[in-house]
Each structure stands twice: as C-alpha cells, then as structure tokens.
C-alpha cells in the first residue's frame, strides 16, 4: 500500500523531505522612525513594535544585525506641522529621514537599506499622490516621487521602495535616478498593492491616514488577480529590479501568480494588520503566537516569496535562529 505517512514518521525524516523553509536572509525588517532622541514609543495595535527616535534606532539595528537580520525598510513619522500639499519635506535639506539614512549606512555599511517612496507621510492630505480638487492626480505626482527618490539615493539608500501605486512611476523614477548618476540604486516596486483593510495599524503608527476619501483609485481592488499580472508586466518593462505583493497572507494566490510570471525576485509584505491579528489572538490566549508566526511566514515563503517584509523579523530571529 502506498502510505504518505512513512515520510512523516520522525522529525529527522520530516525535516529531510521538507519543501520550504523560512530564512533570515529573506527578511526585510520595517522600522518606524521619528526625529528626536532617547525614546521609543510603543504602537498600541502592534505589540513589540515601536516608533524609534533617530538615535535609538541605531541600537535596534545593531541588535538585529547581531541576530542575523541584514535588511531594513525605514518609514518616517513627521509631525503635522511639517506636512504640506506638495510633500515638500520629502526632499528638503533638513529632512531627518534623509540624514538618518546616511547615518545608518555609515554605521552599518553592510546592511541593505530600503526606503519608502510615497507622499503620505509628508502630505497634509494623507494621500500617496498629489490631491487637486479632491482628485489624486497621477502625472503631476511623478516628479515629486522622483525628487524624493533622488534625495534618498543621494543620502545613500540601497533600494528605493515606491509604495504609491501611481501609473508609470517605476520608469519615471528609474530615469530620474539614472540621470542623477544613481544607476546602481535598486527599485523594489510595490507592484500589486491592494486597497486593503490590513493597513490600519500602520496608519496609526505613522498618523498617515487619508484626511478624506480612501485609496481605491490607485491601490488595487482586492477582487482582482489578472490585473496584478498587468501591473507586473508594466513594472518589469519599466525596470523594476524586484517586485512585491502586499498584503501577503490574504493574497497568497497573487504571490504564486506573480512568482510564476516573473524573472526577478518576488517580495511579499506581511503588513501591520496581519501582525496585529496574530498578536491580538495570542494575547487573548486564543492562538499560539510562535506557531502562528512560523506558519504565517512559512505560508508566504511556500506561496513563492523570495523576500518577506515582516514585523516578525526580529522576534523570529530571536526564537527560531
Ligand atoms: C503608504 C504605505 C502603507 C503601508 C506601507 N506604505 C499604508 C497605505 O498604503 O496606506 C502599509 C504597511 C503596513 O500596513 O504594514 N505609502
């Protein structure tokens, strides 16, 4: 008789036939940063995750590096007083985020540092693009994103992460980087970013929720799969070095679809809401935190993600190294 259970009879055999694994080298750890010193501020809906002051974040990165994490993505938090319609602060001389990029790369030249490119942290409208008469306009947004990208490249960023979902922005940013002499700066495009309910805790962390309306005219409809392939074709043609699906676990089919159709590495963003769901259930004693964390990351990797952006990165490294 054919018995699949023979391959499951001991841990030695199970690990011998195991098809996927989660590796620390595939992690990109998101860090929220603000201007200031000596403090870290907890985020209520994301237990274990903080907003780090520019000074404190260096210690956090040091700890993570010791644990074996090599890549980070930085999200800046700006006070309302520094926001305006044109996201002017995003490429201003006195933007702490740009200085922090330089400082981190100076202290940790070996880490891969990724940025966020979108207007929302700097915009008084709280949208990823420029708002004119209530409309999020596309083409007028592109030069702003390009200025932001070039400023980040100048600061020393390794990977630009456009999360804005404007049409044509990968090509536009690529051209701007090349023209400014940053042909070695990579672009990891948020290729299939869905208009998801899972971003709530992140917007709380950044205080970046849209002041009016929603993001449905630029982020993708959660009902659509084939449209993700259209976005993929565009991003590859425009020169994306890596592509991303976001969120991750509710979109495992999309990760697989994108993986099967692309010849560049595929990333998945295990977003704030996915993290919050596990933490909330675990805090109630309803689910086992460590097993959920492991299974969640494993499922993303099994779906085809080569790279995982996850708030679990440090905890996973601490517990499963
Ligand atoms: C916005 C941005 C968002 C996230 C990353 N970049 C939120 C949004 O689109 O409103 C969400 C990440 C998360 O939820 O962890 N540019």
| pLDDT tens for each residue of 155-195 | 999 999 999 999 999 999 999 999 999 999 999 999 999 99
**Once rounded to an integer, what is the mean pLDDT over residues 44-62?**
95
Residue carrying the six token digits 């565009």: 234
- Return the structure tokens found at 246: 């976001």
Distances (CA, A) of 59 to 44, 136, 148, 221, 316: 22, 38, 26, 39, 18
What confidence score (pLDDT) does residue 126 get? 94
**Once rounded to an integer, what is the mean pLDDT over residues 270-294?**
98
Helix (H) or strand (E) holding 112: strand 112-114
Report CA(11)–ligand 1 centroid distance (Å): 39
Q: Say whether 193 is catalytic.
A: yes
Distances (CA, A) of 232 to 21, 42, 108, 129, 147: 26, 36, 32, 20, 24
Determine how many CB atoms are found less than 10 A away from the CB of residue 55: 15
Query: Most distant CA pair in the chain: distance in Å?
Result: 72
Angle formed at CA 307 by CA 305 and CA 313, multiple of 5 degrees: 115
What confidence score (pLDDT) does residue 135 get? 94
What b/e string do you get for 32-42 counting C-beta neighbours within 10 Å, with b at 16 or more?
bbbbbeeebee
**What is this structure's pTM?**
0.97
Determine how many CB atoms are found less than 10 A away from the CB of residue 162: 28
Is 38 a residue whose pLDDT tops 90? Answer: no
Structural domains in the chain, sorted by start: 20-320 (3.20.20.70)
Residue to probe by mutation, ligand 1, list 51, 77, 87, 118, most atoms within 8 Å of CB:
118
Percentage of the chain modeled with pLDDT above 90: 94
Under the banding of pLDDT at 50, 70 and 90, the label for residue 204 is: confident
**Once rounded to an integer, what is the mean pLDDT over residues 269-277?**
98
Under the banding of pLDDT at 50, 70 and 90, the label for residue 276 is: very high
Any ligand 1 atom below 6 A from CB of 244 = no
Under the banding of pLDDT at 50, 70 and 90, the label for residue 54 is: confident
Is 45 a residue whose pLDDT tops 90? Answer: yes
List the residue whose alpha carbon is closest to atom 8 of ligand 1. Answer: 199
| pLDDT tens for each residue of 98-157 | 999 999 999 999 999 999 999 999 999 999 999 999 999 999 999 999 999 999 999 999
Residue to probe by mutation, ligand 1, list 129, 163, 247, most atoms within 8 Å of CB:
163
Whether residue 300 contacts residue 255, with contact meaning beta carbons closer than 8 Å, is answered with yes
Residue to probe by mutation, ligand 1, list 120, 161, 190, 277, most atoms within 8 Å of CB:
120
Report CA(114)–ligand 1 centroid distance (Å): 14
Nearest residue to 27 (alpha-carbon basis) of 319, 301, 303, 304 = 301
Angle formed at CA 203 by CA 37 and CA 227, multiple of 5 degrees: 135
**Identified catalytic residue from 193, 215, 279, 314:** 193
| pLDDT tens for each residue of 259-272 | 999 999 999 999 99
Any ligand 1 atom below 6 A from CB of 199 = yes
Average of per-residue pLDDT values in the chain: 97
Q: DSSP H helical segments within the chain, as ranges?
A: 11-16, 56-67, 96-107, 142-155, 169-179, 200-206, 226-238, 252-261, 272-283, 289-303, 313-320
What confidence score (pLDDT) does residue 205 get? 86
Q: Which atom of ligand 1 is found nearest the CA of 128?
A: 16
Any ligand 1 atom below 6 A from CB of 115 = no
Any ligand 1 atom below 6 A from CB of 203 = yes
Close Cβ partners of 112 (under 8 Å, ≥ 6 residues apart): 28, 70, 71, 72, 158, 159
CA dist., res. 114 & res. 88, Å (int):
21
């Amino acid at each position: 008789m054919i018995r699949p259970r023979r391959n499951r009879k001991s841990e030695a055999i199970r690990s011998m036939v195991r098809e996927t694994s989660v590796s620390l080298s595939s992690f990109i750890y998101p860090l929220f940063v603000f201007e200031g010193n000596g403090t870290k501020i907890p985020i209520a809906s994301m237990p274990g995750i903080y907003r780090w002051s520019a000074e404190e974040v260096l210690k956090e990165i040091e700890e993570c590096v010791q644990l074996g994490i090599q890549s980070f993505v930085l999200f800046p938090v700006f006070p309302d007083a520094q926001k305006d319609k044109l996201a002017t602060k995003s490429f201003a001389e006195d933007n702490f985020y740009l200085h922090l990029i330089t400082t981190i790369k100076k202290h940790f030249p070996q880490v891969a540092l990724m940025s966020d490119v979108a207007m929302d942290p700097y915009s008084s409208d709280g949208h990823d693009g420029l708002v004119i008469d209530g409309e999020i306009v596309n083409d007028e947004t592109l030069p702003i994103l390009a200025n932001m990208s070039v400023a980040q490249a100048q600061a020393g960023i390794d990977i630009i992460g456009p999360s804005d979902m404007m049409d044509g922005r990968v090509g536009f940013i690529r051209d701007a980087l090349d023209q400014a002499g940053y042909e070695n700066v990579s672009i990891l495009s948020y290729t299939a970013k869905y208009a998801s309910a899972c971003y709530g805790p992140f917007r709380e962390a950044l205080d970046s929720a849209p002041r009016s309306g929603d993001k449905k005219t630029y982020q993708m409809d959660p009902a659509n799969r084939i449209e993700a392939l259209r976005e993929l074709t565009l991003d590859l043609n425009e020169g994306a070095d890596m592509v991303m699906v976001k969120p991750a676990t509710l979109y495992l089919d999309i990760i697989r679809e994108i993986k099967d159709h692309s010849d560049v590495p595929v990333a998945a963003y295990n977003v704030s809401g996915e993290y919050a769901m596990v933490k909330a259930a675990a805090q109630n004693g309803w689910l086992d935190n460590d097993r959920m964390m492991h299974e969640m990351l494993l499922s993303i990797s099994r779906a085809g993600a080569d790279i995982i952006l996850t708030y679990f990165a440090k905890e996973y490294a601490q517990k499963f190294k």
